[in-house]
Each structure stands twice: as C-alpha cells, then as structure tokens.
Amino acid sequence: MAQLHKKFTDSQVKELMERYLKKEVKRRYLQEILGVKRRRFCALVKQYHENPKNFSIQYHRKKKSRTIPLTIEKNIIKELRFEQKLIKDKDVPLKSYNYSFIQEQLKAKFNQQVSLPTIIDRAKKHDFYLKKPKRKAHDREVLTNYAGELIQHDSSLHKWSPYASEKWYLITSIDDFSRYLLYAVLIRKETTWAHIMALQALFLKHGLPFSIYADSHRVFRFVRGRDDVWRKNYLLTDEANTQWKQVINDCNVKYIPALSPQAKGKVERPYRWLQDHLVRICARENIKDIRGARRILAQEVHQYNHRRIHSTTLEIPYLRFQRALKDKKSMFRDFAIKPPFQSIRDIFCIRLERTVNPYRKISINNVVLKADHTPIGAKVELRVYANERTGLSEIRIWHNNKLMGIQRAKTKDLKLVHF
C-alpha cells in the first residue's frame, strides 16, 4: 500500500477525488498518479464520498506498548539485580551485563520465553545498563588450513565463583582451525607439571599437532633477564629449554611463542566466553569449592564445543573438527614413543641430571636413591613422573640411552618446584 501522506497533501487528493466523481478523469489514470491499486483507490473514493469535509489521508501510527506478565517482569529484574551484584564485586572478573545469558536463564529456570529487546528495555528503564567499551580492532580470521596445524595453549587466574575462598587457574588448549576446545581444566596451583599433564592428555587423545602457540610465561620459555635467577646468566633467550619445552621437543612438536597478549586473541575469546558463563553459573548455583566449579566447566565446555555456532567459523566447533579429520584436512600425527624410551613416563616427565657417587647412589633434595649397575662418577638423566593419585613419583634412571633402573619416592619429599 502506497504511503499517500508522504507523497500528497489532503487538498491534492481531494481534488483528484472530486474530478473522478464528476467523471472528468478515468480511474486508471488516477490510480497511476496516486500509485495505488484498485482496491485502495475505491476505499479512498468511498471515504471521500461519505465525508468530504473531514476527508484526510494523514494518520498517526499507534505505538503499542508490549506488556508482559508480572511474574516475568519480576524475574527479569531479579536476574538483572543479581548481575549487578556480580559486576560490583571487584574480585569477580565480570565487567558487563549479559542479557543473552539472562534470556537463557529465564527459559531454563522458569520456562519463560522473553525477547532480548524486552530484557534490554527493562535493563535501561531500571538502570541495569552499561555502555560497552570500545575495543581495538583485531583479526578474527582463521589463518590455518588444517586441524592440528596450530594449537593455542594458555592459562588464566580468576576468582571463578564469588563464594569461593580462593582463585583457580583455568588451563585450556584450542585448535585454531576448528576453534574446538581440546582441553580445559581448573586447578588450584599453576605448575610446570600441570602443563605437562595437559600435553599428555592432549597428545594421547588427539595425536601430535604440528605446532603449539603459547605465551612467554616462564613455564614455556626462558627469557634472558627475567629468568636469569634460575639459569646461568650467560644464556641468551631460548638457549635454555624449559621442562615443558623439552616434552614437546621429544614429541617433535614446534613451539611458537606469542610475544604479546593481543597475539593470543583467538584463545582469549573462548576464555571470555567460558569466563562469562562459568562465573555466572557458579554464582547462581552457590559454588564454593573447585569440584563444583569443575562440574560447571565440563557442562560449559560441552555447550561451547557441541551446541554453539562459533561467530568466526559460523560452524559448531566439534562438527568442523570432525569434518576436517574425515576429509583428511588434519596435521595431527599418531603419538609414538621416541626411541630409546620405553614408556610415556619417559616423555611426559621432569628431567634432572645427577652424578653417581662412589656408593652408586644419587640424591634429589636429600632423598637418596640407588643407582645399581651404573658406573661410578657417571652422569645420569633422571626422568621423574608423579602420580597425583598415590602421591608417589617414579624416577627412571637413564645412562647412555639405556634404562638402568627405576626408583620410587614420595613426591612431596622430592621438593621439586616443578610439581
């Protein structure tokens, strides 16, 4: 229907109607002038004929205010008030409202369908609205062509629940091509061993990737100046291999250091999504310990991997990952133990060097171990594997590419900073 009020005045249309009624102009010409169809034209003629004096084509659109049930209104305000409480808590890593999350909560908890504009409208009316800060432009493109071509690995420390008495570390690994979260775990303390266990879980389940992208944290990389206190000060950056880097070297996986936080943008975005949802759900479920938070994390990782369409790839991460494997668009290789080593405990381990004393013994922080069948004065390599369940560490003694013996000790007695 043509919007006559924007094209003609009332007097112009009245004149045309009067000429039509006097049969001065045929209908089809007037329809063409007005740009209306026959039905609309006949309605105008009827309207003018019935009341020529008050005839008008002007109208005012009546804005209908959408009303929602009082119970829904109360629940929206309740959820917004809860969000506000979290944002004001300085220990909680939330800086903005998540109206989509509130929409999901209303549906899940109360089976109430509410549109996002309605929630935002109530937020603005009741002062639960914050303007989003301007962010610097970043590259959101997928720069890899294969699954396993680049794995981004990182950790983040936050207070994931306002009711928890401590902060926890979240360690994750994500495939750059598919955006599939391959590994995610919450731990109380960040150690070299925790990151080595992450590599073990990743490599044994999915295979060996082509490269791993991580920041310059001391766990991953030796940097001259920063880490001189731990190493001989004449070593240059990257001349000393960290324990974590020695593991990926044994697996023939390339390490690529990220030189700035901005360079890790692709892994930071899943962190923000997990951070946002993990904190909000932990708060609503009154989570106080890490076990409860780990349960929530598992649920959210499953949602991210299997249910949600990624904003960059426009695909569900799991389906994109599986299709890459099916189409042979993968750079993952089968994990194999590098000769002469015999067990995964020779690969995913802490490495130490010791010299055998005249009694054919060695020591680790006053824990004395036997080194039978090993030449006196020989330098041996110890590969230490900690069993977190039993609290015992297995020390595998290597000399000239031969396993000379296996000893066991309590992990806490070894006092290795890496654990």
Q: What is the DSSP string of 176-231?
A: TTT--EEEEEEESS--HHHHHHHHHHHHHHH-B-SEEEE---TTT---TTTSTTTS
- CB contact set of 203 (below 8 Å; sequence gap of 6+): 251, 335
Look at the block and give the residue holding tokens 């991460």: 317
- Res. 288: pLDDT tops 50: yes
Alpha-carbon span 415 to 366, nearest angstrom: 10
**Identity of the residue numbered 4:** L
Q: How does residue 1 score in pLDDT terms, banded at 50, 70 and 90?
A: very low
Edge-to-edge strand order for the sheet containing 168-175?
A: 181-187, 168-175, 151-158, 211-214, 254-257
Neighbouring CB atoms inside 10 A of 97's CB total: 21
Q: How far is CA 232 from CA 15, 148, 235, 245, 361, in A?
A: 99, 35, 6, 18, 26
Q: How does residue 136 score in pLDDT terms, banded at 50, 70 and 90?
A: low
**Identity of the residue numbered 226:** R
Round to the nearest angstrom and report the end-to-end CA distance of the chain: 75
- Residue 168: in which H helix or E strand, if any? strand 168-175
Alpha-carbon span 155 to 217, nearest angstrom: 10
- Res. 129: pLDDT tops 90: no
Residue that wins the pLDDT comparison between 216 and 194: 194
**Residues 308-362: pLDDT tens digits?**
888 888 999 999 999 999 999 999 999 999 889 999 999 999 999 999 999 999 9
Fill in the DSSP letter of residue 134: P
Q: Is the dihedral of CA 312, 300, 308, 77 positive or negative?
A: negative
- Tokens (6 digits) for 293: 């938070």
**Identity of the residue numbered 94:** L
Q: DSSP 3-state assignment of 294? A: helix
- Tokens (6 digits) for 347: 């690969």
**Residues 147-157: pLDDT tens digits?**
999 999 988 88
Strand partners for 151: 175, 212
| Average pLDDT value for residue range 96-100 | 90
